[in-house]
Amino acid sequence: MSSTPEPATSSLARRYGAPSRGRRTTVVLGAGAVAVLFLGWLVWAMVFHADPAVSSEEIGHEIVDDHTATIRVRVTYGDGPVEATCKARAISHDKTVVGEASFTPGRDEEAVQRVTVRTERRATTVEWIGCKTSGQPRYR
Given this model, what pLDDT does residue 110 score? 61
Burial of 28 (0-12, 13-18, 19+ CB in 10 A): exposed
Q: How many domains does the chain have?
A: 2
Looking up residue 74, the CATH number of its domain turns out to be 2.60.40
Judge if 99 and 64 occupy the same domain. Answer: yes
Domain that holds residue 30: 8-50
Say if residues 101 and 127 touch (Cβ distance below 8 Å).
Answer: no
Judge if 42 and 75 occupy the same domain. Answer: no
> Which residues fall within 8 angstroms of residue 97, CB to CB, at 6 or more apart?
89, 90, 91
Each residue's pLDDT expressed in tens, for the chain with a length of 140 residues: 556 665 666 777 778 877 777 888 899 999 999 999 999 999 988 887 776 777 788 889 899 999 999 999 888 777 767 788 889 999 999 999 999 999 888 776 567 888 899 999 999 999 999 888 887 778 87
Given this model, what pLDDT does residue 5 score? 62
Rounded CA-CA distance 137/99 in Å is 23
| pTM exceeding 0.95 | no
Given this model, what pLDDT does residue 94 score? 93
